[in-house]
Amino acid sequence: MHGLMMHRPLLISQILEFAAGNYPDQEIVSRTTEGGIHRYTYPEMAQRTRKLANALKKLGVTEEDRIGTIAWNNYRHLELYYATSGMGAICHTMNPRLPADQLTYIVNHAKDRFIFVELTFLPLLEKLYEHFPDVEGFVVMTDEANMPETTLPRVYCYETLLRDESDQFEWPEFDENTASSLCYTSGTTGNPKGVLYSHRSNVLHALFVLSVSGIPIDENSVMLPVVPMFHVNAWGVPYFGLIAGTKLVFPGPALDGESLSELIEAEQVTEAWGVPTVWLGLLAHKRKTGEGFSSLKRTLIGGSALPRSMIQEFREKYNVEAIQGWGMTEMSPLGTVATIRPSQRGDWDKELKLRGTQGRLMFGVEMKIVDAEGNDLPHDGESQGELLVRGNAVISGYYENDEATRQALDKDGWFHTGDVSVISPDGYMEIVDRVKDVIKSGGEWISSIDLENEAIAHPKLAEAAVIGVRHEKWQERPLLVAVPEQGVEVTREEVLEFLEQRVAKWWLPDDVVFVDELPHGATGKLQKAKLREDFKDYKLPTE
């Protein structure tokens, strides 16, 4: 028997109209690409979004059309999120840091009809546009006064498109499973794979995030998404932020420590979300200036492992709670959050250990670990296996890529994350490694992530990566590749002595190599594959 309740589709346009009506004086603040700060209210944002939808219609955009964006976090990008999806088209966000061949691949694979581009990335497109046969036009995200000369053909100016449009638009009603947005994820090998979100998955993900205990988000919150809007919908901030009625503060192109610090203080930001690299820059700036934070309460940090030393520094020096989150593009992205139960508070050392894990489940996600044969492993805090997930905001397949879909999803619909994890009896999940990065020494696994976590706590090291290097006797042994803090002398012996106190003896790296920088991918993640390639012939002193 079915329940006798209405079935209304969950649509992104509802978020926009709800927010505009319910929080009429809430603000959206952006650092602009042209320079300066832009601010307006929720209703003003909704008006411009409706104008944009009218403008898109006039350009001939219709349902299912893919509209590319190559843009920073700002109000125009937000308007694009809502206008494209709201009218039934698909917002395809692109990472400008992707290598040119991958960017070309995704524009053509997605068959984008129009691309909206930030002034900053115009030179990038000028070099590539000839390889985009399906793109009918490019819209530069600026006003007429700032429109530059460009060699791009069929160019429009964003503000000119909006200028004479009506601010009324009837958002169509359609099936909630309709595609709303598209984001490609780039693995270490092969072409990027498309993750096609639906209205339903995005709305549900937003509600799931708002239900996480320990990260209260409401009208009193001032949210700074440093995580880019081109990467997994800025972790959902543009959706759940509007549902909750938060003040949104977009950092635009200025992501260095000084600019972020200035914006956080000026706008009295309470919550800031982003990857660890960004916070390294911010903390370095704070150390240099000796300033504190006057408003910041929490940072949600994910995308790669959050070092315990960073959790400590945020707490001890600034009284800011650094909370680890884990997720994937394929999961919209959030899966787990390392918040602490009331019964577990009190003993900071114990808390720190829990906070150093990737955390416990967010409602709406299921997880399990399996061995190489696919058998379920116990959640006993010891068994390590590949992490599998399921949920309403997890992909059921990659966009037009059957081969990748077959590899990632099993017959029961579980998605293979590629992360190796342990799950404790009380539900905390800890990532030990990527399946491909784990180091196997004499048949035993060594966690490169754990080693990196410990190494980065050394005060003279700015960044650290651990990879497995071929070894005659042990098959593989760990090599630590580290970047010293600027202008600081540090020796191999100092680092090894430091690690000796902190990790099992047989985990100690066989060597330490200092470099000026480590290779990072387009989303700021360490590129271990590149590092392994660079050091593939490295002779360890223990050979």
Summarize the chain as % helix, strand, coil (round to 5): 35, 25, 40
326 scored as a contact of ligand AMP (CB under 6 A): yes
Q: Is 523 in the site for ligand AMP (CB under 6 A)?
A: yes
CB distance 455 to 466 below 8 Å: yes
Paired tokens of 141: 């995200």
Q: Does 297 bind ligand AMP (CB under 6 A)?
A: no
Q: Answer positive or negative: Cα dihedral of 256, 257, 261, 264.
A: positive
Contact (Cβ atoms closer than 8 angstroms) between residue 221 and residue 247: yes
Would you say 135 or 306 has its CB closer to ligand AMP? Answer: 306
Minimum CB distance to ligand AMP, residue 361 (Å): 14
Q: Residue 418 is inside which H or E element, if any? A: strand 415-423
Name the residue nearer to ligand AMP (CB basis): 10 or 305. Answer: 305
Q: Does the protein bind ligand AMP through residue 225 (CB under 6 A)?
A: no
Residue 2 C-beta: closest distance to ligand AMP, Å: 37
Longest Cα–Cα distance in the chain: 73
Residue of 30, 233, 261, 329 that binds ligand AMP (CB under 6 A): 329
**Of 69 and 336, which has the nearer Cβ to ligand AMP?**
336
Region of residue 141 (left: phi > 0; alpha: psi -120 to 50; beta: else): beta
**Quick check: 324 binds ligand AMP (CB under 6 A)?**
yes
Catalytic residue among 185, 270, 299, 417: 185
CB of 439 to ligand AMP, least distance (A): 16
Q: Which is nearer to ligand AMP, 54 or 421 (CB)?
A: 421
CB of 174 to ligand AMP, least distance (A): 28
Asked if residues 485 and 458 have their Cβ atoms less than 8 Å apart, the reply is no
Q: How far is the CB of 120 from ligand AMP (least distance, A)?
A: 22
User: Of 6-14, 25-33, 319-327, 481-489, which segment contacts ligand AMP by CB under 6 A?
Assistant: 319-327
Counting contacts by CB under 6 A, is residue 74 touching ligand AMP?
no
* Binding residue (CB under 6 A) for ligand AMP from 14, 73, 84, 358: 358
> What angle (nearest 5°) sits at the alpha carbon of residue 423, between those of residues 464 and 405?
80
Going by C-alpha positions, the residue among 191, 231, 228 that lies closest to residue 99 is 191
| Selected binder of ligand AMP within 54, 74, 185, 198 (CB under 6 A) | 185
Which of 288, 440, 536, 539 is the catalytic position?
440
d(CA 82, CA 248): 15
Residue 84 interacts with ligand AMP (CB under 6 A)?
no
Nearest approach, Cβ of 348 to ligand AMP (angstroms)?
21
Residue 75's contacts (CB-CB under 8 Å, 6 or more residues apart) are: 28, 30, 38, 40, 45, 48, 250
Q: Is 392 exposed, middle or buried (0-12, 13-18, 19+ CB in 10 A)?
A: middle
Q: Which two tokens stand for residue 405?
A: 């879909």
DSSP-derived secondary structure for 75-103: HHHHHHHHHHHHTT-EEEE--TTS-HHHH
* Residue from 328, 423, 429, 432 in contact with ligand AMP (CB under 6 A): 328
Active site residue 185: yes
Q: Taking the complex as a whole, how short is the minimal distance between the CB of residue 316 and ligand AMP, in angstroms?
A: 21
Q: Has 120 been annotated as catalytic?
A: no
Q: Does residue 33 touch ligand AMP according to CB under 6 A? A: no
Out of 176, 267, 330, 430, the active site residue is 330
Residues 434-473 that bind ligand AMP (CB under 6 A): 434
Q: Quick one: 32 or 185, whose CB is closer to ligand AMP?
A: 185
CA distance 78 to 74: 6
CA 413 from chain center: how many Å? 24
DSSP 409: B
Q: With H, G, I as helix, E, B as strand and everything else as coil, classify residue 479.
A: strand
Whole-number Cα distances in Å, 312 to 14, 319, 398: 40, 9, 39
Strand 360-361 relative to strand 475-484: parallel, antiparallel, unpaired?
unpaired
Specify the amino acid at residue 403: E
Per-residue binding string, ligand AMP, 229-248, x by CB under 6 A, is: ---x----------------
Look up residue 281 and give its two tokens: 């820059």
Q: Which is nearer to ligand AMP, 253 or 327 (CB)?
A: 327
CB of 522 to ligand AMP, least distance (A): 9
Q: Which two tokens stand for residue 80?
A: 């694009």
Examine residue 72 and tell whether it contacts ligand AMP (CB under 6 A). Answer: no
330 is an active site residue: yes
Smallest gap, in angstroms, from Cβ of residue 527 to ligand AMP? 12
Which helix (H) or strand (E) segment holds residue 351: the answer is helix 348-355
Q: From 72-80, 95-103, 277-285, 301-309, give the range in contact with ligand AMP by CB under 6 A.
A: 301-309
CA dihedral 45, 48, 50, 56 (to 10 degrees): -130
Per-residue mark of binding to ligand AMP, 87-126 (x: CB under 6 A): ----------------------------------------
Alpha-carbon distance 40 to 38, whole Å?
7
**Count of residues in contact with ligand AMP, rule CB under 6 A:** 20
Of 258, 325, 329, residue with least CA distance to 298: 325
Q: Would residue 440 show up in a list of annotated catalytic residues for this protein?
A: yes
Footprint on residues 411-440 left by ligand AMP (CB under 6 A): 417-419, 431, 434
Please state the closest distance from residue 43 (CB atom) to ligand AMP, in A: 33
Which residue has the CB atom at the shortest distance from ligand AMP? 329
Name the residues that contact ligand AMP, by CB under 6 A: 185, 232, 302-306, 324, 326-329, 333, 358, 417-419, 431, 434, 523
Report, as residue numbers or ranges, the catalytic residues: 185, 330, 440, 445
